[in-house]
Copies of this chain bind each other. A is one copy, B any other.
C-alpha cells in the first residue's frame, strides 16, 4: 500500500520512531496532547475534526497512522465544528462504550472520509519480534505449563475485552492484567506472599483476540523486564509480530542482566 502518509502523533516513543522512518510523512499534533514527534507539519483540535479531514485531503494524504495514545482529552462541545456536531450522537454512544469503542469510532470516521488507516507495526515491522528466543534460556517444562495456563486465562477473558497479560507461577495465577496495566500488575505480583510462590513463573503478554492492532498494540519495554525480574519471574512470553518492543536494545540488555528469558511465540 502506498500513497502519502500522515502520522497523527500522540504520546510515547512511537510517533518519533515513525517520523524518523518516514521523513516525507505529514506529522499532525493535537491540542491537549503532548507528543515527542520531532516535527509538526500541522496542528489541530479534536473539536474541529472537519478541518483536520479537509487539511489532510488538501495535503494529498491517503494513509493515516494513529501513533501513540492520546488518552481521553477533554472535549469542549461549545467549540465543535459542524462536522463534530453531526458526529455528536455517535460520539456519545462511543463514550459510553469505553475507550476501545471511542477509538474504533475515530477509525471509522477516517475510513468513511476515504483514508486508509494502517498500523504502526505495518510501517515499522522491526518494532515487533519474529518468533524465537530473544534473551535467556528457553523455558523448562514447568515454565511451559505456566505459559499454557496464562494463555488459557487470556483466551477466556478475550471476548470480554479484558486482559492483555497474565502471570502464572507453578500452576497458580498470581496476576491478571486490568486497566492499571502490565507494570502495575507485576508490582502486585512482586508483593505476593512468598508462601504463594513456586518456581518463579512467567508473564504472557499478547493482544486480545480480534484486537485492532491499528489503534492499540500491546507493548513491553526495559521497565517491563525489570518489573518482571522484581516479581521473581523466570521469563516473558510475547505474541510474535503483535507486541511492540520499546527500546529493543535496552530491553534485551535488561533481560540479559536480570536473567529473565524473553520469548516471542507465533500462536
Q: Mark A167-193, 1 if CB is under 8 A from B, else 0.
A: 000011111101110001000100111
Q: What's the nearest-Cβ distance from chain B to residue A202, in Å?
A: 14
- As for how many copies of this chain the complex holds, the number is 2
Q: Is the CB of A196 within 8 A of B175?
A: no
Compute how far the CA of A1 lies from the CA of B188 in the bound complex, rounded to whole angstroms.
45
State A93–B100 Cα separation when bound (angstroms). Answer: 44
Distance of A197 from chain B, by nearest CB (Å): 10
Please state if B157 and A180 are interface contacts (CB–CB under 8 Å). no
A162 touches B (CB below 8 Å)? yes
B192 touches A180 (CB 8 A): yes
B residues in contact with A188, CB < 8 Å: 180, 184, 188
A193 and B180 within 8 A (CB): yes
Q: In the complex the two chains form, is B171's CB within 8 Å of A160's CB?
A: no
The CA of A230 and the CA of B12, in the complex, are separated in Å by 32
Looking at chain A's contact residues, the main secondary structure is: mixed
Contact yes or no, B171 A178, CB < 8 A: no
Most buried by B among A156, A159, A191, A192: A156
Residues of B within 8 A of A178 (CB): 172-176
- CB A34 to nearest CB in B, in angstroms, measures 15
Are A180 and B176 in contact, CB atoms less than 8 angstroms apart?
Answer: no
Q: Is A149 an interface residue (CB 8 A)?
A: yes
Check if B174 sits within 8 Å of A192, measured CB to CB. Answer: no
| Closest B residue by C-beta to A145 | B96
- The reply to whether B153 and A149 form a contact with Cβ atoms under 8 Å apart is no
Q: How far is the CB of A186 from chain B (nearest CB, A)?
A: 12
Q: Mark A83-112, 1 if CB is under 8 A from B, else 0.
A: 000000000000001100000000000000
Listed A/B pairs (27) with beta-carbon separation below 8 Å = A97-B171, A98-B171, A149-B160, A153-B157, A153-B162, A156-B156, A156-B157, A156-B159, A156-B160, A160-B173, A162-B173, A162-B176, A163-B173, A172-B179, A173-B179, A174-B178, A174-B180, A176-B176, A176-B178, A179-B192, A179-B196, A180-B188, A180-B192, A180-B196, A184-B188, A184-B191, A184-B192
Q: Which 10 A-B pairs have the closest CB atoms?
A: A176-B176, A173-B178, A156-B156, A162-B173, A172-B179, A188-B188, A179-B196, A174-B178, A180-B192, A98-B171
Q: A156-B157, A156-B159, A180-B193 are in contact. List 17 more A-B contacts (CB 8 A).
A: A97-B171, A98-B171, A152-B160, A153-B157, A153-B160, A156-B160, A160-B173, A163-B176, A172-B178, A172-B179, A173-B178, A174-B179, A174-B180, A176-B178, A180-B192, A184-B188, A184-B192
